[in-house]
Amino acid sequence: MFNLGDIIMMKKPHACGENRWEVIRLGADIKIKCMGCGHIVMIPRAEFKKKFKKVLTVAADVDTNNEEFYLKQTQIMQPNTINNEEDL
């Protein structure tokens, strides 16, 4: 469906007129960033699923040179994960 770093389209455009968003956080809430003005919005997952239309570009295929507000994968905060069993 959608993954971290994908550029997606929502059903309605942002106030700046752009309808392309980057997914920058996944969880109970989804954080997306407008590709037109850089505004960041956090939406509950249930509401996001209603407003989501389609994936325009998967994260691996995004041309970061042409996208002014795109965050590279190294800039996105990764979710907390346990790296080894010693942390348990």
For 19, residues 6+ apart whose C-beta sits below 8 A from its C-beta are: 9, 10, 12, 13
Topology adopted by domain 1-59: Thrombin, subunit H (2.40.10)
How confident is residue 2, by pLDDT bands cut at 50, 70 and 90? confident
3-state DSSP call for residue 49?
helix
Number of H helices and E strands in the chain, helices first, is 1, 5
Q: Can you give the pLDDT at residue 61?
A: 73
Please provide residue 32's backbone torsions phi and psi, each rounded to the nearest 5 degrees: -125, 155
Q: Residue 58's pLDDT band (boundaries 50, 70, 90)?
A: confident
Q: pLDDT class for 11, splitting at 50, 70, 90?
A: very high
Please say if the pLDDT value at position 9 is more than 90: yes
Give the start-to-end residue ranges of the domains of the chain: 1-59
Q: What is the pLDDT of residue 57?
A: 80
pTM here? 0.71
